[in-house]
Structure 1
């Protein structure tokens, strides 16, 4: 054990504050969108807007990406979103993929779980990657869109006022203070949101008493990447310990404090080091190690009631705080960004009324309550809030070794894509034998993709862009004239659109971009026969699905679009 703190094996770039052109302390330019917060959510929103051609200004109080592991697990759904944002390569090159984990009660393994992973998937169910890497890769992508994304570092929001037409921000920088106007303000400034406080808004819900010390260490170990949970271990009797391997020989350890322990004392290195050493001894790790970072965490299950307040929109931890168990925090924030970006872009560009942004709030508040429901169950098991919960947990853990039926109660229920089953945007649709219903995310499946005479192996999501997409299922790729005319009909509404034929057999016309279900799995996954049409939103959620004649399918798709953009 080396008690001297080591720096992360990562070097962040540092930036200075720069003032825009001012007149009497006010910036003369008015911006269509300003984003407060340069974390994963803020960068994802800026990138999402840029993909739709909308310019934004991002405000960040710090001078670089974050320090400390913080959010470390990125889900498959988030990776799909990040791929659309143009930042996936770094995540896959640096991140450590994993598919499951193990839980132990004292000395015995009581659970070995795996997340859904089959031959249809393009991406792993989860990758471990510290938040400083997450932010850096998103920042790198943002800097490639410098014409549409302006980042202002070392800039703090000190006041916010809004009216029916936009918001006025007072900003403080080392170079001076100034005011700036924006049509729309997005608050992605974290759990201690300055914007939320400025508007007098409060998160509501439950704060749990259980506290966890979080420690990042450097340790060279050949252990596989998986989630490890230890209940009542010899290294920390009566509490819980979580262990995650990260890139660059960084390990993240979360251990629960016992009742009555003083938090300030608990994070002092002289108290942390012996516990970490005891854990590593128990795990059989004998290599030398060094601490990097220590902090403390308290589980919260809190949310705003609405995520749109006039011209101000909230996302990520500024909108909701979700317990870390099940890794829903950053992942739910990235889902917020994906949902918000296309809707805000459509409103800014005049393609939809501002009421479309109310659906962002409806859908993401619903998703938060789903996440809080699962996160609360996991939290109550990981850190029992009462004597009764503790008795229940002890009983489950004691029985799990001999009775497999109770092991599901130990499962941390990792995050997964949430269907917006009650979304106001969902179109009246046909009932199919299987497949994603309106509001659900598209399931993945491998395809042979034909484009301008060439063929390549790919996946269904490769055919879905930052636009509305119609997936037309047919026997050989032939498209009815009415469905083919959707291109012109969407263009007349000034709505970006893509029509993608999907075929059961090798297509007759290989000059047109289409997908061939060469595995025979796609059509059954979607419950599709010939003459089936799915209309997909820019965020990959299904808007509607229908079967029938071409003119009927085309009309129903147009009706669904008009309803969504005027909802």
Structure 2
């Protein structure tokens, strides 16, 4: 059986040299991003949304090869929509909302992720990383005036200082150096930048290994996460199966103790194992292998994501087990958190201290993800005989006892709430809000009607998140206190991105100010809001503070606290 090429064909890009003076680029850059994967591209797009230019360094000559990251969460889709790249994800990706787990030949779990009429995006879509990178790259190329992508360019050394960094770069066309005020390291699990700075990831590295195989197979089977424990095709071990676009299927199967990894990835070892799995699943169609690699679960993180003028994101900052699909999704969340903060610092709108909150919040998020990822890994790939016995007991009991079945399901990735963030403005009175996202949480989704210039459009609450601070003022008639209007004008004169948005419980065509109408009647109750309630939202969609009877001074103080100037 021969390997087939991917249905997707990546365009190749050549290296080019900038203008040099004695081997040093003549232009000093505000931000240089190392790594052109999903996280690096998301950082570049996020900065561009704030008008901040960047140089993106990528060692390869195209988007990646192989499925790699394949599951994109609803939260990531919200972020990607703000980056201007979501259309391709939704058009090509395969949405799913649940999955099934089997013990031998018996289904022991059918789980579903939260999904209701308030949502506009699916809980998850399956999309191979080469598609993910291509759609983000397409968006970046539409902003080529702000994003300078340099292919076939590899970092050979870095001189990091308190006022910036110098990168030594190697290309097929010649070597040169580049000076940058800030460097964002998104260069993966084997980060050159991390190694050059002598930094180490800390945590747990598991011995269990998985073979990852992409195959081409036509099938009408629905898209869902499939997990097989002690399957006849892989006795004593675990198999995961995900359907992808273009008739590509991703199969991950655990190697047994003592199996030789080098031998395990050879086609003559992989093909019979995959065939046995497909026979067990009842898939009778012709298939062909496309890509084979091996994976080892790690639960590791840097202790800090900021080191002088170097900032880390994605796998360069943390390595999360694949179970629960937190790898690429946590990296996209890193990019969303970092981009607005770095943009505000570069533009002189905030002090450098704002970037400490990037590290604090995302290290907290990494530890949350690692906690759940570790629990899932210990079940999916038991690290010891004791864990193996526990898993065997749970699976055996789950055949007849529904109450233990939840132990089988790895909790899927979800948006992180920065409960202890130094940026938050705590509620003035504990328990004052009966509902709604707390400071540090992301906005909960809900349909609403946007009324602009007399034109009404059905939309969703997250459509209001912008590259600015956003104050949502709830009222019955859309009338906003004059002090809030004056605050908006004052902050804008200072160059601070700030939007004051009226949210009404009734449609008021005569209201002069553009507003947003809670046409479902659900939003006010979801947010525990009443006339006069204000939610202040960060550029990344996290709630900064909320008040039932806010004064303009309260909102101004919350914004000033973030900027710390």
Which residue, out of 279, 283, 302, partners 2:300?
A: 302
Query: What secondary structure sits across from 1:293 in the alignment?
Result: strand
CA contact (8 A) 1:168 1:182 kept: yes
Structure 2 residue aligned with 1:273: 271
Structure 2 residue aligned with 1:172: 170
Structure 2 residue aligned with 1:216: 214
Aligned partners of 2:176 and 2:18: how far apart in 1? 9
1:10-45 CA-to-partner distances (Å, cap 9, x unmatched) read 010100000111111111110000000000000000
CA contact (8 A) 1:451 1:510 kept: no
Structure 1 residue aligned with 2:447: 446
CA contact (8 A) 2:211 2:265 kept: yes
Which residue, out of 96, 119, 124, partners 2:117?
A: 119
Query: What secondary structure sits across from 1:150 in the alignment?
Result: strand
Structure 2 residue aligned with 1:182: 180
1:288-329 CA-to-partner distances (Å, cap 9, x unmatched) read 000000000000000000000000000000000000000000
1:395-428 CA-to-partner distances (Å, cap 9, x unmatched) read 1001112111111101110000000000010013
- Give 1:163 deviation, angstroms: 1.3
Aligned partners of 2:128 and 2:12: how far apart in 1? 18
Aligned partners of 1:67 and 1:243: how far apart in 2? 19
Structure 2 residue aligned with 1:512: 513
Structure 1 residue aligned with 2:433: 432
User: Which sits farther off after the overlay, 147-156 or 477-486?
Assistant: 477-486
- Give 1:510 deviation, angstroms: 4.7
Structure 1 residue aligned with 2:12: 14
Distance 1:510 1:87, change over 3 A: farther
Structure 1 residue aligned with 2:502: 501
Structure 1 residue aligned with 2:137: 139
CA contact (8 A) 2:454 2:509 kept: no
1:491-539 CA-to-partner distances (Å, cap 9, x unmatched) read 1432111111111111253543211111111011101011000000000
Structure 1 residue aligned with 2:485: 484
User: Which sits farther off after the overlay, 457-466 or 9-18?
Assistant: 457-466
Structure 1 residue aligned with 2:420: 422
Structure 2 residue aligned with 1:531: 532
Structure 2 residue aligned with 1:460: 461
1:338-396 CA-to-partner distances (Å, cap 9, x unmatched) read 00000000000000000000000000000000000000010000000111111110110
1:146-180 CA-to-partner distances (Å, cap 9, x unmatched) read 00000000000000011121000000000000111
Aligned partners of 2:485 and 2:17: how far apart in 1? 51
State the aligned residue count. 562
Structure 2 residue aligned with 1:206: 204
Aligned partners of 1:432 and 1:486: how far apart in 2? 25
Structure 2 residue aligned with 1:230: 228
Aligned partners of 1:217 and 1:76: how far apart in 2? 26
CA contact (8 A) 2:465 2:540 kept: no
Listed as ranges, the matches of 1:53-202 within 5 Å are: 53-202=51-200
CA contact (8 A) 1:437 1:542 kept: yes
Aligned partners of 1:493 and 1:433: how far apart in 2? 36
Residues 1:357 and 2:355 are matched in the alignment:
yes
- Give 1:52 deviation, angstroms: 0.1
CA contact (8 A) 1:267 1:295 kept: yes
CA contact (8 A) 2:479 2:511 kept: no
Structure 2 residue aligned with 1:383: 381
Aligned partners of 2:202 and 2:540: how far apart in 1? 28
CA contact (8 A) 1:476 1:508 kept: no
Structure 2 residue aligned with 1:325: 323
- Give 1:256 deviation, angstroms: 0.1
Structure 2 residue aligned with 1:43: 41
Aligned partners of 1:28 and 1:506: how far apart in 2? 56
- Give 1:236 deviation, angstroms: 0.5
CA contact (8 A) 1:98 1:124 kept: yes
Aligned partners of 1:46 and 1:341: how far apart in 2? 8
Aligned partners of 1:538 and 1:469: how far apart in 2? 7
| Gapped regions of structure 2 (runs ≥ 5) | none
Listed as ranges, the matches of 1:467-478 within 5 Å are: 467-478=468-479
1:258-294 CA-to-partner distances (Å, cap 9, x unmatched) read 0000000000000000000000000000000000000
CA contact (8 A) 2:533 2:547 kept: yes
Query: What secondary structure sits across from 2:28 in the alignment?
Result: strand
CA contact (8 A) 1:453 1:512 kept: no
| Gapped regions of structure 1 (runs ≥ 5) | none
- Give 1:546 deviation, angstroms: 0.3
Aligned partners of 2:7 and 2:370: how far apart in 1? 34
Structure 2 residue aligned with 1:259: 257
CA contact (8 A) 1:477 1:508 kept: no
Aligned partners of 1:300 and 1:493: how far apart in 2? 46
CA contact (8 A) 1:214 1:295 kept: yes
Query: What secondary structure sits across from 2:89 in the alignment?
Result: helix
Aligned partners of 2:512 and 2:224: how far apart in 1? 45
Query: What secondary structure sits across from 1:29 in the alignment?
Result: coil
Which residue, out of 339, 342, 345, partners 1:344?
A: 342
* TM-score relative to the length of structure 1: 0.98
Aligned partners of 2:539 and 2:323: how far apart in 1? 29
Structure 1 residue aligned with 2:284: 286
* TM-score relative to the length of structure 2: 0.99
